[in-house]
């Protein structure tokens, strides 16, 4: 019973570490998906006094993925009844060209500013509208959210790692008698500590399975999907290959490193 | 004759405390049977501990099984201990392991195969008359039976040297007799060197032996 309790303590601590890491990964994935979503919606409007090709725009900055001409026909159509055909033709020729520029990725506010300055330097470009203000606010909020989750995850990982360390120290005391008897018969450190490593590895595997199970249930329940769909994005909350392998590597890494720390510390105490 | 233990001006103490053994010079031949006696607190157990590296010499030189014990490295100490059998007054059996596995411990450490180990353990448990208790755990056995298990464990890997710290101190007559018979048998048949720390040398002992007595931190050989 006591042994089972010890197992639970380590498994729960490892589960918490893995869960917080996976939450961070999911948030990162959400933000990347949202960036993609914003990137597709976001464009810069450029007003030019002459025709500019897509290649000319791309040459100005490699952030520009493609350009689209904004048709002026609708505006001219509205003016048809108020102006003569001759004046309308003249207006058509003298009317500036409007372009919508799409970017290869979601830019930082600094990148938008830089890009706007570059575009404005072009002799043919008369006006550039980047909607930087709106963009900046959304982006800063997103980064703030990401940072908060990251700090939160690191704090949880640090606290639970300390708990795991304490738990393993308890294990060491429980097994101290056996380890010292083995030492009297010349057992090397690795053999004396084998039981600690075995327990750590088994618990790391159980914690990984528990995290996979938890995310499988969340995934099946689908409420997270519904929330994300309201902002127009969809992500894979838990990849049962990549994320499971990452979780297992982290769980094994944390438990083995902490066991090693205890074993090495104990050897020095001898 | 080859020396298994050689001490020259050996001084022993626990860290900063006063010296327990002072400038002891003695040697123990391979295949001999040795008793170390002395009053309580005279340093018998301390001397025995130095022979398996549990405490380090503070002065002089100590060589056990050809290995210099002064500032001995962990790997050398482990190597030496794999060739020594130790019997403690408090048995030092692993409570969570069966009797069979406890006896097997030195063989596991020395890397013997399971088949060889099992055969050897069955043979030894037969010698100590505990074959029927093989699957039990130490707390289920009496003190005498536990010490017989510890004795079987000390013999399991055919050590060159057996160190016994008051092995019959807490035992009944029957168990004491079994222990002395086993120690004598190991000495006469296997030529194992035996060093026993005790308050009294048993009158029933049937092998020639050497006797060291410790008094006021000095080791004397008694003729």
Going by pLDDT thresholds of 50, 70 and 90, the confidence category of residue B61 is: very high
Going by pLDDT thresholds of 50, 70 and 90, the confidence category of residue B101 is: very high
Assigned token pair, A43: 């464009």
Q: pLDDT tens digits, residue range B8-17?
A: 999 998 876 7
> How close does chain A come to B151, measured CA to CA in Å?
13
Contact call for A185 and B93, based on CB within 8 A: no
Cα B34-B37-B40 angle, rounded to 5 deg: 150
For A63-75, the DSSP string reads TEEEEEEEP-HHH
**Would the pLDDT of B166 be above 60?**
yes
Angstrom distance (rounded) from CA B134 to CA B98? 7
Mean pLDDT of all residues in A2-14: 79
Q: Which residue has the higher pLDDT, B203 or A76?
A: B203
Residues in B lying within 8 Å of A, measured between beta carbons:
52, 54, 74-75, 77-84, 86, 92-97, 105-106, 108-110
Going by pLDDT thresholds of 50, 70 and 90, the confidence category of residue A269 is: very low
Identify the residue among B65, B106, B137 best suited for mutation to test binding to A, counting A beta carbons within 10 A and taking the highest: B106
Contact call for B109 and A186, based on CB within 8 A: yes
**Would the pLDDT of B141 be above 70?**
yes
Angstrom distance (rounded) from CA B198 to CA B44? 8
Mean pLDDT of all residues in A62-69: 86
Identify the residue among A186, A193, A267, A269 best suited for mutation to test binding to B, counting B beta carbons within 10 A and taking the highest: A186
Going by pLDDT thresholds of 50, 70 and 90, the confidence category of residue A3 is: low
Establish if A198 touches chain B: CB-CB under 8 angstroms. no
Mean pLDDT of all residues in A45-61: 86
**Would the pLDDT of A88 be above 80?**
no
Strands (E), chain A: 44-48, 64-70, 97-103, 125-129
Q: What is the mean pLDDT of chain B?
A: 91
Going by pLDDT thresholds of 50, 70 and 90, the confidence category of residue B103 is: very high
Which helix (H) or strand (E) covers residue B170, if one does?
none
Q: pLDDT tens digits, residue range A172-197?
A: 788 888 888 999 999 998 898 888 88
> How close does chain B come to A203, measured CA to CA in Å?
20
Going by pLDDT thresholds of 50, 70 and 90, the confidence category of residue A262 is: confident
CB contacts of B107 in chain A (<8 Å) are none
What count of CB pairs under 8 Å joins A to B? 45
Handedness of CA A180, A185, A186, A191 (dihedral sign): negative
**Would the pLDDT of A135 be above 90?**
no
Mean pLDDT of all residues in A94-122: 84
CB contacts of B106 in chain A (<8 Å) are 185-186
Contact call for B74 and A182, based on CB within 8 A: no
- For chain A, list the domains and their CATH numbers: 2-37+137-269 (no CATH), 43-130 (3.30.70)
Assigned token pair, B213: 């007595």
């Amino acid at each position: 019973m006591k042994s089972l309790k010890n197992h639970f303590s380590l498994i729960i601590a490892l589960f918490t570490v893995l869960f917080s890491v996976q939450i961070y990964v999911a948030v990162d994935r959400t933000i990347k998906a949202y960036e993609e979503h914003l990137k597709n919606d976001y464009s810069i409007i450029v007003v030019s006094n002459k025709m500019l090709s897509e290649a000319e725009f791309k040459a100005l900055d490699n952030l520009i993925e493609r350009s689209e001409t904004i048709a002026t026909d609708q505006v001219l159509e509205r003016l048809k009844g108020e102006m003569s055909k001759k004046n309308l033709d003249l207006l058509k020729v003298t009317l500036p060209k409007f372009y919508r520029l799409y970017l290869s990725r979601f830019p930082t506010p600094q990148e938008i500013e830089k890009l706007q300055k570059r575009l404005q330097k072009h002799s043919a470009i008369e006006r550039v509208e980047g909607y930087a203000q709106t963009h900046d606010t959304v982006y800063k909020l997103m980064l703030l959210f990401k940072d908060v989750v990251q700090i939160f995850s690191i704090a949880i990982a640090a606290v639970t790692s300390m708990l795991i360390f304490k738990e393993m120290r308890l294990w060491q005391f429980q097994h101290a008698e056996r380890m010292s008897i083995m030492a009297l018969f010349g057992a090397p450190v690795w053999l004396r500590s084998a039981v600690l490593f075995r327990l750590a590895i088994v618990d790391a595997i159980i914690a990984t399975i528990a995290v996979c199970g938890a995310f499988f249930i969340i995934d099946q329940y689908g409420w997270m999907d519904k929330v994300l769909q309201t902002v127009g994005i969809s992500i894979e909350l838990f990849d049962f290959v990549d994320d499971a392998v990452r979780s297992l590597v982290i769980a094994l890494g944390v438990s083995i490193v902490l066991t090693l720390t205890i074993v090495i510390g104990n050897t020095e105490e001898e | 004759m080859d020396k298994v233990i050689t001490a020259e001006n050996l001084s022993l103490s626990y860290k900063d405390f006063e010296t327990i053994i002072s400038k002891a010079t003695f040697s123990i031949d391979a295949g001999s049977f040795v008793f170390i006696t002395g009053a309580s607190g005279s340093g018998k157990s301390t001397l025995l501990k130095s022979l398996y590296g549990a405490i380090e010499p503070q002065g002089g030189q100590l060589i056990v099984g050809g290995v210099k014990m002064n500032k001995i490295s962990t790997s050398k100490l482990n190597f030496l201990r794999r060739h020594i059998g130790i019997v403690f007054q408090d048995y030092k059996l692993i409570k969570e392991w069966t009797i069979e596995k406890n006896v097997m411990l030195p063989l596991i450490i020395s890397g013997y195969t399971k088949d060889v180990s099992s055969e050897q353990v069955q043979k030894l448990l037969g010698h100590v008359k505990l074959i029927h208790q093989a699957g039990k755990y130490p707390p289920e056995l009496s003190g005498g039976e536990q010490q017989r298990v510890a004795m079987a464990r000390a013999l399991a890997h055919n050590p060159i040297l057996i160190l016994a710290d008051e092995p019959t101190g807490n035992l009944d007559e029957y168990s004491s007799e079994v222990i002395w018979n086993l120690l004598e048998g190991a000495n006469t048949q296997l030529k194992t060197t035996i060093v026993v720390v005790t308050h009294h040398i048993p009158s029933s002992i049937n092998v020639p032996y050497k006797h060291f007595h410790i008094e006021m931190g000095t080791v004397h050989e008694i003729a």
